[in-house]
């Protein structure tokens, strides 16, 4: 999950644009799909407790409802972009949109946890096909004179979806329309998806840019194995009493990662297109930037997961009230994300430092407020902390790619953008698994836990998240002082 994510840098010097007589309608189509995806990502968070209750899901299953989306999205994002170059961006966009819509229908119909997690995996994989085409379509189909406003509109739509997700998601769940409950969150995607597909068929022109390089499917497979060996024990280990296979899988994740690195190096030396361009990590600036975006994604998904559980289990909030409680965070993130790029062009790294300091202040204030109030916590009491936290996240997560690129060679900008997107989504999956694991370990036995146990668990978890924000603040000081978008890249 990500809040108002910074899209990959659009390619410079695009290939010949596909013919379309109605570029603004084409823009509306891709923005509709982008809204659907972001709304779903943000809205599902507030529905997790309801899903647990309805399907009898344990804590590990609840984590996979979120991580099951983020993991395939991370693994297939770069591949989805290259597939669009090879076989056609319109074709891949439509395939991803159809897949996302059908997967949403499957999620709404799911009568068991495994089927719901499967649907979420299919949603993530489909989003990885659909998402990378959006920025390319904007670049190719919108006339240069309108491209700046179009990019601003894209950011506004994603911001709106980030705000609407938890709020309207909570309303949909609580309204229990036709007895659908949490399933309405997925059913709402069906008419939106159908409209996007019909509009895509009518208004999107085709384009491709084959470069002769094959997809790195072996890299995708190795990355999947390494991440699953790491995430599955963290997710299921405590719930199952840490069986031997959990420790074995954790131990095996390191050599699996080593095999992935070796494969990526061989592919780069052979002139192929690897899943992850490892030569970029030879620079301190790029490595710091990737770690910043990874940490922020882990922080956001982990925070949303445990804070919603706390609101509903400790304070007795329903899904609608929990979504409304998160509104200050969403508004702060959306507003600061909209302002972050122009601010970073003028002030460079100082915007990221200021954003991190705001996040530190927000998490600290939230932690102190929750610890002091306990079960007497009210919504107005958390507004200042959530607002500061959201403003800080938006100021850092939106411009971090452009600031980092000022220390990266221009020829590597495209590869760097793909790596950033991959690590952002990988961070989202890891954040749910690690933060959820810590939270549930502190609760001990969710079936017998008292509300006060959730208060203690969320306070300790937020202290751990505060440590992540402080580490991220230190990493920001390794980034260039200026934003590469306005000061040029080497």
- Per-residue pLDDT tens over the stretch 375-388: 888 889 999 999 99
pLDDT at 14 over 80: no
- DSSP for 138-173, written as a single string: HHHHS-HHHHHHHHHHHHHHHHHHHHHHHHHHHHHH
Q: Is the Cβ–Cβ distance between 311 and 45 less than 8 Å?
A: no
CATH number given to 23-206+273-487 = 1.20.1250.20
> Cα–chain-centroid distance for residue 247?
28
Query: Residue 3 — pLDDT band, cuts 50, 70, 90?
Result: very low
| Token pair belonging to 463 | 């202290």
Query: Residue 291 — pLDDT band, cuts 50, 70, 90?
Result: very high
pLDDT at 486 over 80: no
Helix ranges restricted to H, 270-348: 284-313, 319-325, 327-347
pLDDT at 56: 83
**pLDDT: which is higher, 34 or 447:** 34
pLDDT at 338 over 70: yes
| Token pair belonging to 40 | 């779903």
pLDDT at 362: 94
Residues 323, 329, 335: CA angle, nearest 5 degrees: 125
Mean pLDDT to the nearest integer, 252-265: 92
Give every CB contact of residue 69 below 8 A, 6+ residues apart in sequence.
1, 41, 44, 120, 121, 123, 124, 127
Lowest-confidence segment of 1-10, 96-105, 232-241, 331-340 by average pLDDT: 1-10
Integer-rounded Cα Rg, in Å, for the chain is 21
Find the helix packing angle between 59-87 and 23-55, rounded to 10°: 160
Mean pLDDT to the nearest integer, 226-231: 89
pLDDT at 12 over 60: no
pLDDT at 100 over 70: yes
| Token pair belonging to 461 | 């978890």
- Per-residue pLDDT tens over the stretch 273-282: 788 888 888 8
pLDDT at 428: 87
| Token pair belonging to 392 | 């800080």
First-to-final CA distance of the chain = 32
Query: Residue 13 — pLDDT band, cuts 50, 70, 90?
Result: very low
pLDDT at 382: 92
DSSP 270: T
3-class secondary structure, 481: coil
Phi-psi region of 212 (alpha: psi -120 to 50; beta: other; left: phi over 0): left
Cβ burial, residue 69 (10 Å; 0-12/13-18/19+)? buried
**Mean of all residue pLDDT scores within the chain:** 83
- Per-residue pLDDT tens over the stretch 232-247: 888 887 777 788 898 9
Domain map (residue ranges) of the chain:
23-206+273-487, 216-272
Map tokens 């085409």 to a residue: 133
Q: Is the Cβ–Cβ distance between 381 and 413 less than 8 Å?
A: no
Of 328, 53, 40, 323, nearest to 175 by C-alpha is: 323
| Token pair belonging to 101 | 């819509």
Query: Residue 489 — pLDDT band, cuts 50, 70, 90?
Result: very low
DSSP 4: S
- Per-residue pLDDT tens over the stretch 164-176: 888 888 888 888 7
**pLDDT: which is higher, 413 or 396:** 396
- Per-residue pLDDT tens over the stretch 428-459: 888 888 888 888 888 866 656 677 788 889 99
The highest-confidence range among 32-46, 171-185, 453-467, by mean pLDDT, is 453-467
């Amino acid at each position: 999950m990500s809040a108002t994510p910074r899209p990959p840098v659009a390619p410079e010097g695009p290939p010949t644009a596909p013919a379309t007589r109605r570029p603004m309608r084409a823009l509306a189509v891709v923005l509709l799909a982008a809204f659907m995806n972001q709304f779903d990502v943000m809205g599902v968070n507030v529905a997790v407790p309801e899903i647990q209750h309805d399907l009898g899901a344990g804590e590990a299953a609840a984590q996979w409802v979120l991580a099951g989306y983020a993991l395939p999205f991370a693994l297939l994002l770069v591949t989805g972009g290259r597939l669009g170059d090879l076989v056609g961006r319109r074709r891949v966009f439509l395939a991803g949109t159809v897949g996302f819509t059908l997967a949403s229908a499957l999620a709404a119909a799911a009568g068991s946890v495994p089927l719901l997690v499967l649907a979420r995996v299919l949603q993530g994989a489909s989003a990885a096909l659909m998402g990378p085409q959006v920025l390319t379509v904007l670049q190719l189909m919108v006339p240069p004179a309108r491209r700046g406003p179009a990019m601003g509109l894209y950011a506004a739509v994603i911001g709106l979806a980030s705000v609407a997700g938890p709020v309207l998601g909570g309303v949909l769940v609580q309204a229990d329309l036709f007895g659908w409950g949490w399933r309405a969150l997925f059913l709402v995607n069906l008419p939106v998806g159908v409209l996007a597909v019909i509009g895509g068929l009518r208004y999107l022109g085709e384009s491709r840019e084959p470069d002769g390089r094959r997809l790195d499917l072996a890299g995708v497979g190795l990355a999947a194995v390494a991440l699953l060996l790491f995430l599955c024990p963290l997710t299921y280990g405590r719930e199952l009493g840490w069986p031997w296979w959990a420790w074995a899988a954790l131990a095996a994740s390191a050599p699996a990662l080593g095999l992935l690195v070796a494969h990526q190096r061989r592919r780069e030396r052979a002139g192929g297109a690897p899943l992850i361009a490892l030569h970029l990590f030879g620079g301190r600036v790029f490595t710091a930037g990737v770690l910043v975006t990874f940490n922020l994604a882990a922080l956001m998904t982990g925070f949303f997961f445990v804070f919603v559980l706390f609101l509903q289990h400790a304070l007795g909030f329903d899904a609608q009230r929990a979504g409304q409680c998160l509104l200050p965070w969403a508004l702060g993130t959306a507003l600061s994300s909209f302002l972050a790029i122009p601010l970073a062009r003028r002030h460079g790294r100082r915007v990221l430092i200021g954003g991190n300091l705001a996040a530190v202040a927000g998490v600290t204030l939230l932690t102190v407020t929750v610890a002091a109030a306990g079960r007497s916590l009210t919504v107005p009491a958390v507004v200042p902390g959530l607002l500061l936290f959201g403003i800080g996240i938006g100021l850092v997560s939106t411009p971090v790619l452009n600031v980092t690129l000022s220390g990266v060679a221009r020829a590597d900008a495209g590869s760097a953008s793909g790596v950033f997107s991959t690590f952002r989504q990988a961070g989202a999956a890891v954040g749910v698994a690690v933060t959820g694991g810590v939270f549930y370990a502190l609760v001990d036995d969710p079936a017998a836990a008292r509300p006060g146990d959730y208060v203690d668990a969320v306070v300790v978890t937020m202290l751990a998240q505060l440590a992540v924000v402080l580490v991220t603040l230190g990493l920001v000081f390794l980034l260039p002082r200026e934003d590469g978008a306005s000061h040029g890249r080497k």
